[in-house]
Amino acid sequence: MKKTITVKVKPGARKREIFETGEGLLVHLTSPPEKGKANEELIEVLSEHFRTAKSRINIKKGKSSRIKVIEIDMV
């Protein structure tokens, strides 16, 4: 079963945090938004939050945007 969620990312934050909003998730990341570092950290954070492997999380839209569409393969 695949789950699609909308995630708003705030890179360069002081600490990692995840908040649930009416539109999806708001994720604060410590990594800067350069060379894919924030996207890598986002996948790591979502992997821990949903307790699934990183390989099961895919950024479908918004790789260079703060608003992303994420697809998670839930097993």
Tell me the per-residue pLDDT of 4-35, one tens digit each, with 9 for 90 and over: 999 999 999 999 999 999 989 999 999 999 99
Q: What is the pLDDT of residues 27-46, one digit of tens each?
A: 999 999 999 999 999 999 99
CATH H-level superfamily of 2-73 = YggU-like (3.30.1200.10)
pTM assigned to the model: 0.92
Q: What pLDDT shows up at residue 7?
A: 97
What are the extents of the domains in the chain? 2-73
Residue 70's closest CA among 26, 16, 22, 32?
A: 26
Residue 65's closest CA among 24, 3, 10, 5?
A: 10
Q: How confident is the model at residue 75 (pLDDT cuts 50, 70, 90)?
A: confident
Q: How confident is the model at residue 60 (pLDDT cuts 50, 70, 90)?
A: very high
Give the Cα separation of 39 and 22 in Å (integer): 22
